[in-house]
Structure 1
C-alpha cells in the first residue's frame, strides 16, 4: 500500500500551477496518502488551499551536482514509498540517478514530447492532451485514479478597501500583459489601446513581475484612478486573493491565467506563436476564451510550444489580433 508520495515539480510558474488541481484531487480522494511536494518555497504558495501536504524546498544551492546530491540525501531521509517526477528535465533526471535505490519506485510523467513535435511541424493538427490530464495520468502507474474533473475550485478570499485600493464590490478586470518570450506578448501599444477602450467605471488590475514589468505598469497606471499596479506591492498569496475576486482575467500564454483558473475565474488568453491545441490552456476554459491569430494568415500555428526558437515571421503574429476581438469576448462574459 502506498503511504508516502514525493511529487517533484521545480518550475516554471505556470507549469507548477497546472499541477495544483491534480494534487488537490489526489489529497481529497486519497486522504490516507502522505504527500510531500518538492518545489521552491515561492511556488509552494500555489498550494495554500490544499490542507495536509508537506514540502521539501528546492533552493538555489541545489542547482549544482553537489547540491542535487545533498538534496537526494534529504529525500532518502524522508523515505517516500514512491517518487512522482512531474518535471522530467535534466536536473530531475540527475536527481533520480542519485536516488537509484528508488529506481523501481519512481514514476515519470509522459510530457507528450513526440506529439508536440508533430504539432509544431504541422504533421498533427488536432488538439493534444492537456498537461493537467498528463499529470493526472502519471499516477495511474500506482493504480491511483485522479479525475481532474473532480477538482473543487479554490475559495474566494475576501478583500476590503482597508488593505486594497479597490474592493470585491467593484467590477474587477485583471490584465497580465507580460510573457517570457516576445512572440507570446501583446505589444504595449496594443495593451494601451485595449485598456483605453474599457469602461471607465471598471477597476483595471495589471499584474507583472518586479523590475522592468512593474515599471511599465506604473506608467500605464499614471494619473488613472481606476488602474492599479499588482506587482511587488503584493506578495503571491495576496495576488492570489486579488485574483479570486476578479470578474475576468485577461492573460497571455503565461502563469497568471493558470492561477486565476484555480478560482473558477473566466480567463481570456491571447495567443501568438503558441496555441491552446498544445495542451497548455488554463483549466476548464471554453474554446471561445482563447483568442488566436488568423490561421489563414498564419497557417503553421503553433510554431513553438513554449515560445523559444520562434520563426521570425511569426514573432509578431500575436500583434495582428485586433483589440476589438478581445473586447467582444470580454463583453460577452461581463
Structure 2
C-alpha cells in the first residue's frame, strides 16, 4: 500500500481546513494510506476514515528544537512513505521536506501566496481582490503529487455524530456561538455579542465555545440567559466536535470553530474584523450571504493583515460598523430553513 505523509502542525483552524481534502483522498484512493503528521490534540478531527492514520509529533520532548527535526525525519522515514505533502510551509517543515528530497522522495509544498497576501493587506496601492481559498491551495498540493481530486465534485459530508455526551439538549434549534479569536482585532464587541445571545436564546438552544480565560466570560453569560450552555467548560475537544456536528447554525469570528462546523455541513455565519473573506480563509463551502464584514467605505484599509494581529489607529471600533440587525435576520433565515 502506497503511503503519503501530510504535514500540518498548527493552528486548529488551518488543520481543520485539511479535513475536506483528506475525505476526498480517502474516498477516491481507498487502496492508499494517508498519514496526518500533527499534534495529538488535533487527532479527533480525522477520525472516521479507514485509510487515514495519525502520527503524533512531540515538540515538547523528542521532536523539540533543531535536532528534534532530524529525529522526526528519522521517525517518519520508518513509515516508508512514497510521497510527502507539506501543507504548512514553515521552517520546520521546510527542513523536513528538504531531507526527504535529498533521499529522493516526491515532495510538494503549499503555496502560501505571500506576494498576493502582501498586496491585499498593504495600506498603499492595496489590490483588493479575493485570493484562492486555502482549501483549494491544499487540493493543489495533492494534485501536484499526482492525485486527481476536486473538492467541488468529490467531497461528501459525514453524518452528524451521536449526541451521547449531551443529555440536556432538546428539540429546539441548536446555535453555536464562538465569540472569541486569537487576536483582538477579530473579536466582535462583547456588548453587541450579548445582544446576539439574548436574541437567539429566546427560541433556540445556544452553546458558547471558547477556552482558557474566555470561559469566565462565557460562564457569566450562561448564567445571565435562559437556554444557554457553555460546553467548553465541561467537555473535551472530541465531545465538542460531536456537538458542533449537530448544530443548526454556528456564529463565529474568523476562527477555528467556524471551520470545524463547516466541515460537518453546518451553516456558518462569520463575523470578520480586521481580516476579510478575500484573504482565502473563509469556511468550507461558505456563501457570501453569511459573511459579515466591516464597512470598507469607512475603514478602507481592511483587511489590515491576514491574521488580524495588526492594529491600525482609528480602527479600534471598526467592527461596530457591521450590520447587527442584518446578521440577526440572516440567522433567523437559516434557522427557519433548517427547521422547515
TM-score, length-scaled by structure 1: 0.94
Residue equivalent to 1:189:
191
Q: C-alpha distance in 1, partners of 2:225/2:191?
A: 17
Q: CA deviation at 1:313?
A: 2.8
Task: Indicate yes or no: 2:132 matched with 1:133.
Answer: no
Task: Indicate yes or no: 2:295 matched with 1:294.
Answer: yes
Pairing of 1:1-334 with structure 2 (within 5 A): 3-59=2-58, 60-61=60-61, 62-102=63-103, 105-121=106-122, 122-149=125-152, 150-159=154-163, 163-167=166-170, 169-209=171-211, 211-334=212-335
Q: C-alpha distance in 2, partners of 1:230/1:316?
A: 30
On the 8 A contact 1:292/1:321 being kept in 2, the answer is yes
Q: CA deviation at 1:233?
A: 1.1
On the 8 A contact 2:274/2:305 being kept in 1, the answer is yes
TM-score, length-scaled by structure 2: 0.92
Secondary structure, aligned partner of 2:21:
helix
On the 8 A contact 1:183/1:310 being kept in 2, the answer is yes
Q: C-alpha distance in 1, partners of 2:314/2:306?
A: 16
Q: C-alpha distance in 1, partners of 2:64/2:127?
A: 36
Q: Which runs of 5+ in 2 are unaligned?
A: 336-340
Q: CA deviation at 1:85?
A: 0.3
Number of residue pairs aligned between Structure 1 and Structure 2: 330
Q: C-alpha distance in 2, partners of 1:186/1:266?
A: 19
**CA offsets 1:131-188 (integer angstroms, 9 cap, x no match):** 000000111222211111121112112326x733213x22111100010000101122
Per the alignment, do residues 291 and 92 of structure 1 end up closer, same or farther by CA in structure 2, a change over 3 Å counting?
same
Secondary structure, aligned partner of 1:282:
coil
| Stretches (4+) displaced over 6 A | none
Q: Which runs of 5+ in 1 are unaligned?
A: none
Q: CA deviation at 1:129?
A: 0.6
Q: C-alpha distance in 2, partners of 1:98/1:199?
A: 54
Q: C-alpha distance in 1, partners of 2:49/2:315?
A: 40
Per the alignment, do residues 82 and 102 of structure 1 end up closer, same or farther by CA in structure 2, a change over 3 Å counting?
farther
Q: CA deviation at 1:206?
A: 0.4
Q: C-alpha distance in 1, partners of 2:139/2:331?
A: 31
Q: CA deviation at 1:223?
A: 4.7
On the 8 A contact 1:273/1:303 being kept in 2, the answer is yes
Q: CA deviation at 1:66?
A: 2.0
Q: CA deviation at 1:321?
A: 1.9
Q: C-alpha distance in 2, partners of 1:51/1:285?
A: 28
**CA offsets 1:242-293 (integer angstroms, 9 cap, x no match):** 1111111000000000000011111000001100011100011210100001
Secondary structure, aligned partner of 1:49:
coil
On the 8 A contact 2:36/2:52 being kept in 1, the answer is yes
Q: CA deviation at 1:199?
A: 4.8
Q: C-alpha distance in 2, partners of 1:181/1:226?
A: 28
On the 8 A contact 1:251/1:267 being kept in 2, the answer is yes
Q: C-alpha distance in 2, partners of 1:187/1:298?
A: 17
Secondary structure, aligned partner of 1:107:
strand
Q: CA deviation at 1:97?
A: 4.0
Deviates further, 239-248 or 189-198: 189-198
On the 8 A contact 1:182/1:315 being kept in 2, the answer is no
